[in-house]
Structure 1
Amino acid sequence: MAAAAPSGMDKPHFIGIGGAGMSGIATILAQRGMRVSGSDAKESGTVAALRELGATVHVGHAAGHLAPDASCVVVSSAIRSDNPELAAAAQRGIPVVHRSDALAGLMTGLRTIAVAGTHGKTTTTSMLAVSLRSLGLDPSYAIGGDLDGPGSNAHHGSGEIFVAEADESDRSFHAYSPEVAIVLNVELDHHANYASMDEIYASFETFAAKIRPGGTLVISADHDGARELTRRVRDAANLTVVTYGESPHADVRILDVTAHGLTSEVTVRLAGQELTFTVSVPGRHYAHNAVAALAAGVAADVPAAALATALGTYTGVGRRLQLVGEQAGVQVIDSYAHHPSEMTADLEAMRAAAPAGRVLVVFQPHLFSRTQELGAEMGAALALADAALVLPVYPAREDPIPGVTSALVTDAARTHRADVTPVAGMAAVPDAVAGMARPGDLVLTMGAGDVTEAGPKILARLGEGGGEH
């Protein structure tokens, strides 16, 4: 495959280049030989990996970071209008390109599989990328999380398939025209951009309408929102709809999911053939993700039996039930779950994986808008844990909303008789966990913010002799 850049992107400058979505596009362009530059708020492993590819990355944002001959400036929806580099681009007449349009340009001429859904996108995209790579197909891919380490979230491959995570949060996925699309689930989230389920359905309908003529939509037969979307799009011309799940009416039917500790064995019926394969991450929801990946790969002409076996080579992606380590008989696992459905799924998976011990959670609500709308449901999910610590809301790109705090979560959890304790900040977490944990317990750090940094600190504190005995 020729190494080329989309038009006007031979010298791109990325504002916020260290972000999961932005860094992936920058990585592929650098691997294609383009002169990539950018800026980010802080140093990170991702920034270091981009520099190793030849990118020029500045820490902090300043107008002077924008090269005089930059061909365009790439931004995401998280970049504020008063960013000095964005203002400099406007003054100098440098084109500004949204991240989604840049990614769409990278897909040109390739057989794209786009993975959408309210949750599960990163895992399913990763499963496809890893399994296709293990089959020697060398796909290109752009994922919202790291596979093997910093900078491994994207790759410019020599094969004809491009696997991409399709983000609905800001309607970015409307920019893509995939040959195969996956919709894992459809739920109300991203409340700053969507006011109702009707708006969510309309957005996913637009995405489905972008599938290339003759293409395939792979969609859950078990999820209520996905079933409603199927009803709305099934009669679209030149579109094949393939459903998957445990429903007896699913085209790709899941016959059995058997848990074996931190792995599962999955049996499916596809085109009259039964296939049994291993999923090397725990939880029924991950088994469903793997089956969605299988159905999409088959729709892209990958042999079913070979792909089913290859899916077993996937061992996880950063922050998706990732084992951080073990100390004093206590396992610490990191989870990116921040929507109530994700929280429930991961807690149920951990309960199955640790039947003899307790499941303890350190939860950090993500975004004020999400906490305002879903705080009660988050609290209900935490009732599945034996005990939980709840941190203040992680604001990310948002300004505070009066009256919206993590108390919305803890108060709701207590109505479900959950054992929840608010903590003032990250510094208090290691001692608090050490005072609770005992051998055989499993500690889950959960959320989409910087709660991921707590895991190593908890392990270090347990190694000092903390924990009950």
Structure 2
Amino acid sequence: MKLMTPYFMKPLEEYTHVYFLGIGGIGMSALAQWCQSQGMHVAGYDRTPSAVSCMLESQGIPVTYSDDAEHIPIDFRNSSKVLAVYTPAIPQEHPQLQYFRTHGFDIIKRAALLGLISRSKRLIAVAGTHGKTTTTAMIAHILKQTEVPVTAFVGGIMRNYQNNLLLSQAADAWIVAEADEYDRSFLHLHPTLAVVTNIEADHLDIYGSEQAIIDSFEAFLKNIQDKGTLIAHEGVSARPPQGLHTLRYGTSLHCQYSIKELRYENEQLYFDLNISTQEQHTLRLLVPGEHNALNATAAFAVAQQIGIAPASIIDALSSFQGVKRRSEIWYRSPQYVLVDDYAHHPTEIENTLRTMRALYPQRQLLAVFQPHLYTRTRDFAAAFGKALGLADQVMLTPIYPARETPIEGVDSRLIARYCPVSARVVAPTESIEAVFEEWLPQATPPLTIIVMGAGNIEQHLPNFLNLLKTLEHEQA
């Protein structure tokens, strides 16, 4: 079956070259690798080098870090054979995007390409404000470990595979993908099985209100194929279409899949899973937190729906190592634990801090947070401050702007005003490492230091780690 779309005139497989604008993005990079695996020539642009873009370059995919159209490779300047793909993070005035537009190239968004790839396949799509990356990775891992053919597009680097893509050449392979609500991207997808982990206010610069977000999720649910299945957390308020086979999971006994009795043993999470068919199982996870127990429950339900035996699901989940930047422990010693996390929404911060408090109850908890986007900081400043109050001390870096321009009166000090604990705000003129070096010794070990944010804060982790080791040496 040929893949067709209203966005361009010919089937996808007739393009010999694909150029990605924003290729270093976690979603774009997986698509770039998939296109390369299909025999297409792939190249792209990104603003700065990153671990992801370097990974692509090591696989033979050229990446330019100049937005000048002259840096588009000569082989990618033939409009009859080149497809241009861009992410919403690319501004409309971007010189390379303008080049492709003015020279008559076929151009589509990232989400449209994912929709094309998955349209003729059996698709498992995972949506939700939080938890979709880990849940997607868990489902992909279960299928991979149980030898069910799977191609997976994940919004993070899976630690088991050191990649954000799993590939299968089998014609009947399942596709597992995140269904991103940003810019209503998930409306390009038509899943056989869909998961919705939760719905909360976010991306208000796009949606304007929480009700608009709920409406968008309801539109996504209408895209589920006939005789498909929805697996939704009990708190999801979006109404599924009448007659859609729907299963609920959560902590309440009225759910078809409910969890209870969470406990930690040797830093591993155990919990009991009750299923409405009178089954009960005990699961062990290497990733901590009630939110991950719920993510695993959603993954369990998906795997059971496609016919995988419970014992095989449990065994696969017990070997799931997590996703990079999701409660990823960088360092552990009697004095210090250093954790990296992608949390960039108040609920995610709260979940992460509660999890680390439960995992290391005898340690003081220090939080380093890099706010992401001026609009999100403006819209959720009070909630950010409250969530960060779960730590004993807080350090706030300047806002990571991503695609946005500054908003007058909106900076990290706005969050600090609502934070009930001591919050050291890093001024734009200060060095983050220098402030960290001055701030850290004010707390007495043993400490858990958790570094959070969706921008580039993880680039500072090697220097943070070196400082911890220096302090340990001095304290010895």
Using structure 1 for the length normalisation, give the TM-score: 0.93
Identity of aligned residues (%): 34
1:258 aligns with 2:267: no
Partner of 2:203: 190
1:147 pairs, out of 144, 158, 176, with 158
2:279 pairs, out of 246, 249, 273, with 273
Contact 1:115-1:182 at 8 Å conserved across structures: yes
Q: Offset of 1:305 from its aligned partner?
A: 2.6
Contact 2:132-2:178 at 8 Å conserved across structures: yes
1:349 aligns with 2:355: yes
Partner of 1:75: 86
Structure-2 change in CA distance of 1:403 and 1:149 (3 Å) = farther
Structure-2 change in CA distance of 1:94 and 1:100 (3 Å) = same
Instruction: Within 5 Å, give how 1:52-91 maps onto structure 2.
Output: 52-64=58-70, 65=72, 67-69=76-78, 70-91=81-102
Partner of 1:172: 185
Unaligned runs of 5+ in 2: 3-10
Residue identity matched to 2:257: V
1:410-465 CA-to-partner distances (Å, cap 9, x unmatched) read 0001xx3x122212242334303432344321100011111112222111012223
Question: Which one is further off, 394-403 or 106-115?
Answer: 106-115
1:250-275 CA-to-partner distances (Å, cap 9, x unmatched) read 01121332223532112112232111
1:43 aligns with 2:66: no
Partner of 1:420: 423
1:5-27 CA-to-partner distances (Å, cap 9, x unmatched) read 83454311001101111101001
Q: Offset of 1:301 from its aligned partner?
A: 2.5
Structure-2 change in CA distance of 1:194 and 1:468 (3 Å) = farther
Partner of 1:242: 247
Aligned counterparts of 2:470 and 2:383: Cα–Cα separation in 1: 36
Aligned counterparts of 1:261 and 1:301: Cα–Cα separation in 2: 32
Structure-2 change in CA distance of 1:440 and 1:56 (3 Å) = same
Instruction: Within 5 Å, give how 1:32-431 maps onto structure 2.
Output: 32-64=38-70, 65=72, 67-69=76-78, 70-148=81-159, 152-159=163-170, 160-221=173-234, 223=235, 226=236, 228-229=237-238, 232-233=239-240, 235-237=241-243, 239-270=244-275, 271-326=277-332, 329-413=335-419, 416=420, 418-424=421-427, 425=430, 426-431=432-437
Secondary structure at the residue paired with 2:206? coil
Q: Offset of 1:300 from its aligned partner?
A: 2.4
Aligned counterparts of 2:439 and 2:134: Cα–Cα separation in 1: 28
Residue identity matched to 2:273: V
Aligned counterparts of 1:295 and 1:109: Cα–Cα separation in 2: 23
Q: Offset of 1:151 from its aligned partner?
A: 6.7
Q: Offset of 1:313 from its aligned partner?
A: 1.2
Residue identity matched to 2:49: E
Unaligned runs of 5+ in 1: none
1:334-355 CA-to-partner distances (Å, cap 9, x unmatched) read 0111111000000000000111
1:63-103 CA-to-partner distances (Å, cap 9, x unmatched) read 12052235210001111111111111112110111100111
Aligned counterparts of 1:280 and 1:25: Cα–Cα separation in 2: 28
Q: Count how many residue pairs are aligned between Structure 1 and Structure 2.
A: 458
